[in-house]
Amino acid sequence: MGCSRKIEDLMAHSSWIRKMFEEGANMKTDGRGPVYDFSLGNPEIEPPEALKQRLAELAASDTPGMHRYMPNAGYEFVRRSIADYLKEETGLSFTAESVIMSVGAGGGLNAALKALLDPGDKVVCFRPYFVEYEFYVDNHGGKLVKLPTDDSFLPDLDAFEQAIDEKTRVVLTNSPNNPTGVVYEQELLDEIGGILKKKSKDNASPVYWLSDEPYRNLIYDADRAPSIFKAYDSSIMVTSHSKDLALPGERIGYIGISPNAEDSGKLFDAMTFTNRILGFVNAPALLQRLVAPLQGMTVDLGWYKRKRDLLYKELIRYGYEVNKPDGAFYMFPKAPSGDDIEFVKKLQQRRVLVVPGTGFGAPGYFRISYCVNDDVVKGALPAFRQVLED
């Protein structure tokens, strides 16, 4: 029989991102010239020099016990360091018992959803959304409810308010957003928080706000990202250092629980437990020590901004319809033909790899991941122009 029928079915509908990435890997060995691969959010920029120096120091350290188990939530001194950073950023009384170290943002989201959901509970999110959300929610018996956004990819708050009922347990947002690069401003977060306060009161039970923020430090035109913690008490942030420190392969992140959340202590205990029973056990020991003093540090944002500005300028000049992203390293233009899958195939014929919006619940668009070197962007521009003209 092989694998389960359910997994067979899920595999058949699995990530377009990985599909295009694997297609690119094959094309790069076919000997037919360069491939311009914008499929995966896999930064080609190297980590900051200060991080490399600290990693070398840690690797050379003979401190006893550096690689042993620790509490499932992570080292207390690491969590305290992150709590101090969050306290400075938000003004709230974060402590080490507000932070759980996780195996990247994906591990943190699964630990949080496992702790929060009973079978049949609803998780509300907005289209377009990160492709794995459907699978993460299904992992824990939940149902993902996908709501519309406007032409700027901002939430339809009327639809949002109407969608929340007594079965809604979690609202899942992602800002800066993958795949659009949209940043939710504080005013919008406050409006979402106001609706959640009202609905939680009506339901006599909190609706938890789970915010997926691996791009929170990749903001181009502001000092820092707006904060859900300032907008709503029962809020939980999950982040990672895959993007801001260019460490995607190291899988290190954390869960931050608002100290004002209802039952915050119980949430901490529950997510520490789910972190263990999901098989993560704990985040990597060496990586915890590495990132503790590096909170707030980022790679050179100018490296991303330069590519964003060039792509946006040229795509608009060619005649594409596209919103200028405020954060992350994604752009989400309209597919000129209206058929995103067919348009992506035409680009692929010219050795340019992007991801159809269908994979993000938004057919008619395509995603460009511009965390690549300048020569990839410049080399792909003629193909973007030619396919549109064709």
- In a domain? residue 218: yes
Give Cα separations from 119 to 107, 157, 169, 263, 280 (angstroms).
20, 26, 11, 21, 22
Separation between Cα atoms, residue 73 and residue 71, nearest integer Å: 5
Helix (H), strand (E) at residue 170: strand 168-174
Q: Write a three-state SS string for 211-257.
A: EECCCCCCECCCCCCCCHHHCCCCEEEEEECCCCCCCHHHCCEEEEE
Prior bond of 176 cis (ω within 30°): yes
- In a domain? residue 52: no
Separation between Cα atoms, residue 86 and residue 96, nearest integer Å: 11
Residue 307's nearest CA partner among 382, 215, 374, 355 is 374
Separation between Cα atoms, residue 167 and residue 100, nearest integer Å: 27
Question: Exposure string (b/e) for 352-368, b if CB count within 10 Å is 16 or more?
Answer: bbbbbbbbbbbbebbbb
Q: Which of 270, 294, 318 is the last residue of a domain?
A: 294
Q: Which of 294, 310, 336 is the last residue of a domain?
A: 294
319 and 267 housed in the same domain: no
CATH code for the domain in which residue 122 is found: 3.40.640.10
Token reading at 256: 């931050």
Number of domains into which the chain is organized = 2
- In a domain? residue 255: yes
The predicted pLDDT at position 32 comes to 74
The predicted pLDDT at position 224 comes to 75
- In a domain? residue 321: yes
Report residue 300's pLDDT band, with 50, 70 and 90 as the boundaries: very high
Range of the domain at 351: 5-47+300-389
The predicted pLDDT at position 15 comes to 63
Q: Give residue-wise pLDDT tens across range 6-55.
A: 887 777 666 666 666 677 667 666 667 789 999 989 999 999 999 999 99
Give Cα separations from 228 to 65, 155, 193, 257, 370 (angstroms).
37, 15, 8, 11, 27
Q: Which of 267, 294, 321 is the last residue of a domain?
A: 294
Q: Write a three-state SS string for 264-324.
A: HHHHHHHHHHHHHHCCCCCCCHHHHHHHHHHCCCCCCHHHHHHHHHHHHHHHHHHCCCCCC
Q: Give residue-wise pLDDT tens across range 242-259.
A: 999 999 999 999 999 999
- In a domain? residue 53: no
96 and 118 housed in the same domain: yes
For tokens 């410049």, name the residue: 378
- In a domain? residue 187: yes
Token reading at 205: 């039970």
282 and 162 housed in the same domain: yes
229 and 280 housed in the same domain: yes
Report residue 96's pLDDT band, with 50, 70 and 90 as the boundaries: very high
Contact 242, 215 (CB under 8 A): no
Contact 274, 285 (CB under 8 A): no
Give Cα separations from 66 to 62, 72, 254, 285 (angstroms).
8, 15, 19, 7
270 and 380 housed in the same domain: no
143 and 226 housed in the same domain: yes
- In a domain? residue 55: no
116 and 10 housed in the same domain: no
Q: Give residue-wise pLDDT tens across range 325-347.
A: 999 999 999 999 899 999 999 99
Percent of the chain with pLDDT over 90: 87
The one-letter code for the residue type at 370 is: Y
What is the pLDDT of the chain when averaged over all its residues?
A: 94
230 and 330 housed in the same domain: no
Token reading at 158: 């009327």
Separation between Cα atoms, residue 121 and residue 142, nearest integer Å: 5
Q: Give residue-wise pLDDT tens across range 112-166.
A: 999 999 999 999 999 999 999 999 999 999 999 999 999 999 999 999 999 999 9
- In a domain? residue 58: no
CATH code for the domain in which residue 39 is found: 3.90.1150.10
The predicted pLDDT at position 222 comes to 77
The one-letter code for the residue type at 63 is: T
201 and 317 housed in the same domain: no
The predicted pLDDT at position 16 comes to 63
Separation between Cα atoms, residue 328 and residue 199, nearest integer Å: 31
Separation between Cα atoms, residue 83 and residue 96, nearest integer Å: 6
277 and 350 housed in the same domain: no
Per-residue pLDDT at 175 exceeds 80: yes
96 CB contacts (<8 Å, ≥6 apart)?
Answer: 76, 79, 80, 83
251 and 335 housed in the same domain: no
Phi, psi torsion values for 4, nearest 5 degrees: -65, 155
Q: Give residue-wise pLDDT tens across range 257-287.
A: 999 998 999 999 999 999 999 999 999 999 9
Helix (H), strand (E) at residue 342: helix 340-349
141 and 161 housed in the same domain: yes
